[in-house]
Amino acid sequence: MAKIIIRVPATSANVGSGMDSIGIAFHLYYTVIVEEATEKWQVNHALGSGIPNDENNLMVQTILKVDPTIHPHQLTVISDVPIAHGLGSSTTAVVAGILIANALGELNLSVADEINLGAKLEGHAENVSAALLGNMTISTFDGEQAKVVNAQMPKVEALFYIRPDGISEVDSRKKLPETIDYQTAVRASSLTNVFVGLVCQGKWDEAVPLVEDDQLHEPYRKDLVPELDVIREKAHELGIYGTYLSGAGPTIATFGEHTKLVELRMALQKLNLNGSLRILTVDQEGATVRGE
């Protein structure tokens, strides 16, 4: 094959109280074209000066962690996934790196192997598993092995409010408490269990309002994203119940029917919020690898 083309979907994590556990893939993509072998790694992209073009690039670092013997190549990245915005931008690079290493090194990794590698690199499995499998994934990771359930979702859409300024996951995690009380833990667990159960039964309309009652991260991060309450209130006025903080923020997602989401987008545009608004559908395929 003269070229290998990798496509990885963006992911939205921490859905409801599914902290570091529930992830959903969306139609927003990080695409990498693996081109000719070179003397040194060269990563061509238009993602800004903060993203390295050489072996220090996260994708290249991932390739070499999976297989240090892989020869350098020229890689061209075309990405619509905003960096540090709670849509899995680092995960797309990590997953692409794993898939490139698997292809160039002829490693014959299984999807389970790829998920475990990604989880070890990221510390949790929900973004990696959702990016690789598509749809919604529910995962747990003990530091060595990830266990993942891939739940088929209906063809739902979400309106994403994407602020121009990002939030680093490190800064966002500093907002989280070291401990929570027992009753809060029980409440969070029950909400997540029922949400997952309803999704697996195909009862999406009953499931989606539960994403608004997060107990584990939204209460501590809300001050970083003041638009969250504004968007949720406006959605409720339109009868839409499905707004949550995506990942570590600052992106906010609202699930709903297309016509309702168009109404919500128009209403939010009138508020002149400092961000972009995009309606995206759930990706049901996951990451792909093809040759040319």
DSSP code string of 129-141:
HHHHH-SEEEEEE
Same domain, 109 and 175: no
Same domain, 142 and 124: yes
Predicted local distance difference test score (pLDDT) of residue 1: 56
Predicted local distance difference test score (pLDDT) of residue 224: 87
Give 25 or 225, the one with higher predicted confidence: 25
pLDDT tier, 171 (very low <50, low <70, confident <90, very high otherwise): confident
Rounded mean pLDDT of 50-72? Answer: 97
Could you tell me the two tokens for 275? 């961000």
Could you tell me the two tokens for 121? 């690199």
In this model, does residue 84 exceed pLDDT 90?
A: no
**Least confident piece of the model among 1-5, 231-235, 268-272:** 1-5
Same domain, 132 and 181: no
Same domain, 10 and 147: yes
Question: What residues have CB less than 8 Å from 236, skipping those under 6 apart?
Answer: none
In this model, does residue 167 exceed pLDDT 80?
A: no
User: Global pTM?
Assistant: 0.94
Interhelix angle 58-66/111-122, rounded to 10 degrees, is 120
The contacts found for 138-143 with CB under 8 angstroms, 24 or more apart, are: 138/18, 138/21, 138/22, 138/196, 139/21, 139/22, 139/23, 139/115, 140/21, 141/20
Same domain, 107 and 69: yes
pLDDT tier, 174 (very low <50, low <70, confident <90, very high otherwise): confident
Same domain, 8 and 147: yes
Interhelix angle 111-122/89-104, rounded to 10 degrees, is 130
In this model, does residue 169 exceed pLDDT 90?
A: no
Predicted local distance difference test score (pLDDT) of residue 155: 86
C-alpha dihedral (118, 122, 126, 128), degrees to nearest 10: -30
Q: Which domain holds residue 272?
A: 157-281
Rounded mean pLDDT of 80-90? Answer: 90
CATH of the domain at 70: 3.30.230.10
Which sign does the torsion angle of CA 162, 164, 170, 175 carry? Answer: negative
Other CB atoms within a 10 A radius of the CB of residue 265 amount to 16
In this model, does residue 104 exceed pLDDT 90?
A: yes
Give 292 or 105, the one with higher predicted confidence: 105
Average pLDDT, the chain: 94
In which residue are the tokens 């297989």 written? 67
Give 223 or 139, the one with higher predicted confidence: 139
CA distance linking residue 185 with residue 206, whole number of Å: 22
Helix (H) or strand (E) holding 204: helix 204-207
Rounded mean pLDDT of 215-224? Answer: 91
Could you tell me the two tokens for 145? 């092995």
* Strands (E) located in the chain: 4-13, 22-37, 42-44, 73-79, 136-141, 146-151, 157-162, 243-245, 252-256, 276-281, 288-291
pLDDT tier, 35 (very low <50, low <70, confident <90, very high otherwise): very high
C-alpha dihedral (245, 172, 213, 285), degrees to nearest 10: 50
Same domain, 10 and 135: yes
Same domain, 146 and 67: yes
Question: What residues have CB less than 8 Å from 178, skipping those under 6 apart?
Answer: none
Rounded mean pLDDT of 153-165? Answer: 92
In this model, does residue 173 exceed pLDDT 90?
A: no
Predicted local distance difference test score (pLDDT) of residue 244: 96
Same domain, 90 and 65: yes
Same domain, 287 and 146: yes
Number of domains, the chain: 2
